[in-house]
Amino acid sequence: MGLVRAWRLVSFIVRFAASLLLTFLGLLAITFFIGRIVPIDPVLAVVGDRAPRAVYEAARLKMGLDQPQIVQFIQYVGAVLSGDLGLSVSSGRPVVQDLAEVFPATLEMATLGIAIGVLLGVPMGVEAAAHRNSFGDQIIRVVGLAGYAVPAFWLGLVGLALFYARLQWVAGPGRLDVFYDGIVEPVTGLLLVDSLLAGETEIFWNAVSHILLPAAILGFFSLAYISRMTRSLMLDQLGQEYVTTARVKGVSERLVIWRHAFRPILVPLITVIGLSYASLIEGSVMIETIFSWPGIGNYLTTALLNADMAAVLGATLVIGGVFIAINKVCDGLYRVFDPRSR
């Protein structure tokens, strides 16, 4: 029996590693060929459009662009696996170093956003389904519809004008006030965590004041999606016979909703939350631009404007890797909440 369990564990690890490797290789292939079909010459981005022909050719040879596509792809995979994503034309530094600095800012804001979306969206969706067609259900559905219809840039600008410029409830654009820059030594890259580790409570609350509005806006969009999906999943469960049986047996309505009907939707709800979280990380470009947030979205926008393909492909690769990681985490959680998947 012990050998069977050990074999199953080894088999699962091998399958998991093979799936992860193949998915990542597919992501590498996509980013590589995107870099080859876009109408941007990576050599000109490095040497400039006024460089002599000899300089251009020397740079082209150094970058390996004279090699066949399959050779270039193998070299690209080898460079990525060794942690080399190239040099950024915009910053003049390795792309890996740039991404290590900007990604934690996006991760911090997106994490707070998904926390708001889950803590508010799930109960709202459950209550809307439990009291279908009530006034509260209509309000929650309108909120969900607004999350799909309202443009992110408009909501960001209105939020800044109202809560920052008019009411002064929150701090303005940026991650921190200028005179606090450089005081906290980066440890995790997450400013809220690093400021607490350093014992700088004043900087912590200043960072909270800066992140609150953009995170709340991201949380609103996440809440809209999660509440609508939770409502839909709950309505399907509340119409099942086992729920009717529980009610006939005299089980309280609260237990019927949260124990009998809610538990079966945990597995699909994990997928909903995971996709929403990944979307916040990937889709925070507009919010980061409006709030001058030094995250990966702002970095990617700057790289696109400067035709910095190394930075663009590096940021795209990181975002794709986040999607892969979140999907794998969701697969692991399935096994925790649904014994049948084991």
Domain at 286, CATH number: 1.10.3720.10
Q: Report the DSSP beta bridge partners of residue 87.
A: 94
Average pLDDT over residues 198-215: 92
What is the pLDDT, as a whole number, of residue 1? 52
Mean pLDDT of the chain: 84
Give yes or no for a contact between 271 and 332, defined as CB atoms under 8 angstroms apart: no
Residues 157 and 58 in one domain: no
- Asked if residue 204 has pLDDT above 70, the reply is yes
d(CA 303, CA 91): 10
Residues 246 and 132 in one domain: yes
What is the pLDDT, as a whole number, of residue 120? 93
Residue length, the chain?
342
DSSP string, 170-225: S--SSSS-GGGTTTSPPSSS-HHHHHHHTT-HHHHHHHHHHHHHHHHHHHHHHHHH
Residues 312 and 229 in one domain: yes
What is the pLDDT, as a whole number, of residue 27? 81
Residues 60 and 149 in one domain: no
Residues 128 and 51 in one domain: no
Residues 245 and 314 in one domain: yes
d(CA 48, CA 308): 12
Q: Is the residue at 87 inside a domain?
A: no
Domain of residue 44, residue span? 2-81
CB atoms closer than 10 angstroms to residue 15: 10
* 317 φ/ψ sector (left φ>0, alpha ψ -120 to 50, else beta): alpha
Residues 116 and 68 in one domain: no
Which of 99-103, 187-191, 325-329 shows the lowest mean pLDDT across its residues? 325-329
Q: Report the DSSP beta bridge partners of residue 94.
A: 87
For 251-305, write each residue's pLDDT tens digit.
888 888 888 888 888 888 988 998 899 888 877 788 888 898 998 988 888 888 8
* 295 φ/ψ sector (left φ>0, alpha ψ -120 to 50, else beta): beta
Q: Is the residue at 151 inside a domain?
A: yes
Residues 151 and 279 in one domain: yes
Q: Is the residue at 88 inside a domain?
A: no
| Helical packing angle, 2-37 and 309-337, nearest 10° | 150
First to last CA, the chain: 16
Residues 120 and 175 in one domain: yes
Label residue 243 by pLDDT band (50, 70, 90): confident
Nearest to 274 by CA among 219, 320, 325: 325
Residues 13 and 112 in one domain: no
d(CA 75, CA 80): 9
Q: Is the residue at 206 inside a domain?
A: yes
d(CA 193, CA 179): 19
Q: Which residues contact 143 (CB under 8 A, 6 or more apart)?
A: 124, 223, 224, 227
Residues 10 and 116 in one domain: no
Domain count, the chain: 2
Q: Is the residue at 303 inside a domain?
A: yes
What is the pLDDT, as a whole number, of residue 103? 92
Q: Is the residue at 17 inside a domain?
A: yes
Residues 105 and 66 in one domain: no
